[in-house]
Chains A and B, each alone.
Chain A
Amino acid sequence: MIYPWIWGKLPGGRYVKTVCAVLLVAAAGSLLWYVVFPLVDLLLGLDEVTVEPSAGQP
């Protein structure tokens, strides 16, 4: 129900709302791509590629 609520809060008519919505999606997407995903990736440790004495130890 969050999307209809956001749509209702966006200013202007249908076209202004559409532009605002696209901007919001782009902002959320870049936040995920450039900030959240790199952090998540580090936490998951899927990019450990070296052999070392302590690697992979729980």
Chain B
Amino acid sequence: MPYQQDDDDLWEPPSRRLARGVGELMVTLGVIALLFAAYAVYGKAWRIEAEQHLIDDRLNRTWATANAGEAPAPGQPLARLHIPKLDMKWAVVEGVTQADLRKGPGHYPKTARPGEIGNMAVAGHRIPSVFWDIDRLREGDTIVAETRNAWFIYSVTGHREVRPTAVEVVAPTPDQPGVPPERAMLTLTTCNPKFQNWQRLVVFAELTRSQAKSAGRPPELEKRK
């Protein structure tokens, strides 16, 4: 009987039904894969942007209420980071756990704080609203750390790719663990290549000068190369 009168479906041979089933499955998996790609690029970026709004407000409130000398609690903002060349700025939180990094760039605990002699190390996701483009930073480009009372202007000294275990890049004197620091350095780490995790991209910068908040915004913030 080639035709089933009381059913809307046309009769098909089993092989054809199977082929249609597999086809549906393939299309469904394809759509899910595309959706996941969109999530990896935009979804996470939106989430971090939303968190950054909250954390930035909290930073302003903290700065408005004295006790600036205290070490920030894990997950709480401690400074702001500006990269004028990329037209980016973030509130940096204390800590580099997955939970901390969902709020924005995270400051490696126990590394130097902005402007201090030593190495201020900051990790961030390689997604569009965080450290996506830091491979475009070149020697001499400006990174500005903003604290409650001062601006610290760092100048990029270089960047390179390292293995994920290369902890020497966040040592007080980068690449020379155990050597007492003499300079104030800033080190950014993120994953490399984009969306992969077998390398880390590291950007090094050195403090060139600082400026009190009372002296206004540093001119480096406006400069776009």
Binding site for B on A (CB under 8 A): 1-4, 29, 32-33, 37, 40-42, 45-57
Contacts and interface: CB of A to CB of B under 8 A. Distances in A.
Interface stretch (B57-65, B69-77, B150-158, B163-171): B163-171
B2 interface: no
- Looking at A49, A54, A55, the one whose CB has the most chain B CB atoms below 10 A away is A49
A40 B43 CA distance: 13
A49 B191 contact: yes
Interface residues of B, number: 39
**Secondary structure dominating the interface of A:** loop
B167 A47 contact: no
B109 to A, nearest CB: 11
Interface in B114-134: 123-126, 131
Contact of A1 (B20, B108, B197): B20
A49 B108 CA distance: 11
- Looking at A1, A32, A50, A54, the one whose CB has the most chain B CB atoms below 10 A away is A50
Contact of B189 (A4, A37, A41, A50): A50
Contact of B108 (A40, A41, A48, A50): A50
Given A48-B164, A50-B123, 4 more contacts: A33-B39, A47-B44, A51-B170, A53-B165
B159 interface: no
A3 B165 contact: no
B43 A49 contact: no
Contacts of B80: none
